[in-house]
């Protein structure tokens, strides 16, 4: 028993040592920044405790609603586009899967700013799309500086984050389960609805989180594709830090945004089977 207890203690000590770098990383780059945000959110410029910054957030309610609405639409569009793409890729041979996934992730190799600027060139009044419309004697369409342009930018930039987790789950699905269901008389619709969709839910939940979180906090896309007409939460936070130099109010907005994101992640986790490991965030 003594040797067994010593072995358990050694394993426990080894586990603690192995986890030390991760704990240090979390403390420095996760916990410490969160503490700083909370500190500035509940203090004034002199460092005294104050609720003034939190109480001022009511003035930005329309911006919060707009950010959540744009992000929700972009996330739903990404899901609708990514799910069939991920399914089709998962049904291919392994070599073909690797090529298709690489092509899906290829835009992410380009700088985020360049990707956004490219859409400005496409959507502008004298851009590529309107040039094509004029060349076939059609009336030009005003697309830039609209809510649709902002949402389009979100979908384009974050779509791979939806494809990859869904594909990862679908690729691990045992084909024997599908074959067994077909042997028992289940049609394609029944197999898709009762086997593929339920087993892909962890990937869907992860994808929803990975798209919604950056969408709700983005700021550059709305500035360039929206022309600064549609302030989002990220724009407001950036303005407080870069222009107004009101770090306390910026921290308060960031703090509330963080809470909203945590609530969304918690809700999505409720729809994820615990046996599949939950969300990866």
CA distance 108 to 118: 13
Least confident of 13-27, 225-239, 246-260: 13-27
Quote the mean pLDDT of the chain.
86
Provide the pLDDT for residue 278. Answer: 42
Is there a contact between 207 and 271 (Cβ–Cβ < 8 Å)?
A: no
Residue 166 has pLDDT above 70, yes or no: yes
* DSSP for 7-57, written as a single string: HHHHHHHHHHHHHHHHHHHHIIIIIHHHHHHHHHHTB-TTS-B-SHHHHGG
pLDDT digits (tens, 9 = 90+) for 228-249: 888 999 999 999 988 888 999 9
Residue ranges and CATH numbers for the domains of the chain are 60-276 (1.10.3720.10)
Residue 43, phi then psi, degrees to nearest 5: -135, 165
253: pLDDT confidence band, cut at 50, 70 and 90?
A: very high
Provide the pLDDT for residue 277. Answer: 42
The predicted model scores a pTM of 0.85
């Amino acid at each position: 028993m003594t040797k067994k207890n010593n072995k358990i203690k050694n394993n426990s000590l080894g586990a603690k040592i192995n986890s030390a770098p991760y704990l240090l990383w979390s403390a420095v780059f996760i916990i410490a920044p969160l503490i700083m945000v909370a500190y500035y959110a509940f203090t004034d410029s002199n460092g005294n405790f104050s609720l003034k910054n939190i109480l001022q957030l009511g003035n930005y309610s329309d911006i919060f609603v707009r950010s959540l609405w744009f992000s929700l639409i972009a996330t739903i569009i990404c899901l609708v586009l990514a799910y069939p793409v991920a399914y089709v890729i998962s049904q291919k041979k392994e070599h073909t899967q690797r090529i298709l996934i690489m092509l899906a992730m290829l835009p992410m190799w380009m700088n985020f700013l360049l990707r956004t600027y490219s859409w400005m060139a496409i959507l502008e009044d004298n851009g590529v799309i309107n040039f094509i419309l004029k060349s076939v004697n059609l009336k030009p369409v005003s697309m830039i500086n609209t809510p649709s342009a902002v949402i389009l930018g979100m979908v384009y930039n974050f779509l791979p984050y939806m494809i990859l987790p869904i594909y990862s789950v679908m690729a691990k699905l045992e084909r024997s389960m599908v074959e067994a269901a077909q042997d028992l008389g289940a049609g394609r619709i029944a197999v898709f609805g009762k086997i593929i969709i339920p087993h892909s839910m962890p990937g869907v939940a992860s994808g929803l989180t990975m798209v919604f979180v950056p969408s709700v906090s983005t700021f550059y896309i709305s500035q360039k594709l929206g022309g600064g007409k549609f302030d989002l939460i990220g724009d407001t936070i950036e303005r407080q830090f870069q222009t107004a130099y009101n770090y306390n109010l910026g921290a308060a907005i960031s703090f509330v945004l963080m809470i909203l994101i945590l609530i969304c992640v918690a809700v999505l986790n409720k729809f994820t089977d615990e046996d599949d490991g939950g969300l990866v965030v």
